[in-house]
Amino acid sequence: MSTSRSFFLRSSDGEIFEVPQAVAEKSQLIKSMIEANFADPEIVLEKVTGEILAKVIEYCKKHAQSASKCELKDFDSKFVRVDLACLFDVILAANYLDISSLLDLTTKRVADMLRGNTLEQVRESFNIVNDFTPMELKALKDQEKWAFK
């Protein structure tokens, strides 16, 4: 399959990005559209903002190049050093666009960020309000002891 064709990806806020087919096809959603001849030269991605689409394209471009594993590992490590809100938006975009390697990378980063945190630290990081009554919390702790070690 020729990878010389370009596609224009339009974000939910109207930004347009020109990308080569090899980069666009890192997304299984877009690849399926191309293979089924459903892809116009301009593909509208209604669930991804321009800011996040730019990040996703940066990732896809790097992974479409023939880079060494060491180089990709270094790139990936730096790529996920973003604030939590951005990370979550990239996770949602990777899921929507069906880019499993990006979804794996970003969800692993969230897991790494949570590892070793107390329940209160997790609540604070994710702005989760503890709406359990003291009785409900005690019952939960009694029932799921492993989770409160």
Instruction: Please give the pLDDT value at position 39.
Output: 63
CA 78, 80, 100, 48 torsion-angle sign: negative
Asked if the model's pLDDT at residue 147 lies above 50, the reply is yes
Instruction: Please give the pLDDT value at position 1.
Output: 44
CATH architecture entry for 6-115: 2-Layer Sandwich (3.30)
Domain ranges of the chain: 6-115
The reported pTM is 0.83
The pLDDT-based confidence of 18 (bands split at 50, 70, 90) is very high
pLDDT in tens, 34-88: 888 876 788 999 999 999 999 999 999 999 997 789 999 999 999 999 999 999 9
Q: Which bin fits 85, alpha (ψ -120 to 50), beta or left (φ > 0)?
A: alpha
pLDDT in tens, 104-115: 999 999 999 989
